[in-house]
């Protein structure tokens, strides 16, 4: 984690121009298809979307990067390097490191992601969706070359002003948010979405629970052969050595001894500083006020764990992407 923190702070200050040159040489004259997926772990739904994407061009998987914390704010099951290996074995041509999900707010993350897609030259973005009436209208709107605006209890077509519905399932909301960010960033960047109906009968939660128990056979119908092979390899070496965990000591140190206004929203910093000292992670969680997102508390914990100043995070977003970091390449085998 310490090296990841150093990397984020470095990327807030300057760009690695050579990394862009190396990337553009790799993808020269190729149609780039890119998707961002956590692969936590890679299951058959991910594999299905990957295969559909590869039909359209060179497939680049963008895997959330430094700190290895999920959108829920908690540690991923495995590091991004293991998840990148899963992606390449499943057929991805390249795996590129994305922004640090969990550290950034959802809006901040989406801004970084779209800026990265733009720099990658992604012409097509495959995205799994869940069929529902409002989503049908969203897809029609986007396919007509329009954009989506997401307001409280309103999903709107930006160009026509038509109200498409009141809310969306989470996977569908992500697509709407991507469209909105493309519209608002004004990058002169208009990728095409490849909408893929999400496969039914796959539960990421059940898969992770089975992996924690080391009982992969319970979810083998949800996982591609390549992911199962990697899991078996890790199990032989000691699965517990690869499963990511919180740095509880660091979190407590930050919460008890540091100026929290540098790292957290003011209202959260005020509450935590008044309730010092803390003796456990649970005590901190109980003290954190409720937020707009149900994952707000875990995201605050990640901020305490990372201990990166708010002004550094802002500079990081402004300078993003500072580089194109390839985690794994499958081009030699494609």
pLDDT exceeds cutoff 90 at 180: yes
Take residue 186 and report the two structure tokens written for it. Answer: 């004004």
Is residue 153 over pLDDT 60? yes
End-to-end CA distance of the chain: 33
Q: Please identify which residue in the block is written with the tokens 């990421």.
A: 204
Q: pLDDT at position 291, please?
A: 81
| 311 has a pLDDT exceeding 60 | yes
Tokens of 42: 């890679």
The yes-or-no verdict on residue 292 having pLDDT over 80 is no
**DSSP code of residue 199:** P
Q: What are phi and psi of 191, to 5 degrees?
A: -70, 160
Per residue in 225-255, pLDDT tens? 999 999 999 999 999 999 999 999 999 999 9
Tokens linked to 208: 């992770």
pLDDT at 333: 46
Answer yes or no: is pLDDT of 328 > 50: yes
pLDDT at 29: 93
- Of residues 57, 59, 62, the one with CA closest to residue 31: 57
Question: pLDDT tens for residues 47-100?
Answer: 999 999 999 999 999 999 999 999 888 999 999 999 999 999 999 999 999 999
Residue 117 contacts residue 27 (beta carbons within 8 Å): no
Res 16: pLDDT: 97
pLDDT in tens, 275-286: 999 999 999 999
pLDDT score of 332: 66
How far apart, in whole angstroms, are the C-alpha atoms of residue 279 and residue 58? 50
Q: Is the pLDDT of residue 268 over 80?
A: yes
pLDDT exceeds 50 at position 334: no
Within the chain, residue ranges assigned H as helices are 2-11, 17-26, 44-54, 80-90, 106-120, 133-143, 170-185, 204-213, 225-237, 248-257, 266-274, 281-287, 296-306, 310-318
């Amino acid at each position: 984690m310490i090296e990841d923190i150093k990397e984020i702070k470095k990327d807030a200050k300057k760009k690695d121009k050579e990394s862009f040159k190396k990337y553009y040489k790799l993808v020269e004259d190729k149609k780039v298809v890119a998707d961002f997926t956590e692969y936590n772990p890679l299951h058959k739904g991910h594999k299905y979307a990957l295969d559909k994407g590869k039909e359209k061009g060179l497939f680049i998987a963008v895997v959330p990067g430094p700190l290895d914390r999920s959108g829920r704010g908690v540690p991923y099951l495995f590091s991004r390097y293991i998840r990148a290996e899963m992606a390449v074995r499943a057929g991805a041509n390249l795996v590129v490191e994305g922004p640090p999900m969990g550290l950034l707010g959802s809006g901040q993350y989406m801004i970084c992601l779209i800026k990265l897609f733009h720099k990658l030259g992604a012409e097509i973005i495959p995205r799994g969706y869940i069929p529902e009436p409002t989503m049908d209208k969203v897809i029609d709107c986007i396919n007509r070359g329009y954009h989506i605006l997401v307001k409280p209890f309103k999903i709107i077509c930006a160009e026509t002003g038509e109200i498409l519905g009141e809310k969306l399932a989470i996977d569908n909301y992500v697509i709407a948010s991507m469209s909105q960010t493309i519209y608002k960033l004004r990058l002169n960047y208009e990728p095409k979405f490849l909408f893929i109906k999400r496969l039914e009968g796959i539960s990421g939660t059940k898969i992770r629970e089975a992996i924690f128990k080391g009982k992969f056979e319970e979810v083998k119908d949800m996982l591609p052969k390549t992911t199962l092979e990697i899991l078996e390899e890790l199990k032989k070496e000691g699965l517990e050595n690869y499963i990511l965990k919180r740095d509880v000591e660091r979190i407590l140190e930050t919460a008890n001894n540091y100026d929290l206004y540098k790292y957290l929203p003011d209202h959260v910093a005020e509450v935590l500083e008044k309730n010092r000292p803390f003796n456990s992670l649970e005590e901190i969680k109980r003290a954190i006020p409720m937020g707009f997102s149900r994952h707000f508390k875990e995201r605050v914990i990640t901020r305490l764990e990372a201990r990166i100043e708010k002004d550094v995070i802002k500079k990081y977003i402004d300078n993003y992407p500072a580089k194109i970091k390839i985690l794994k390449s499958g081009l030699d085998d494609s």
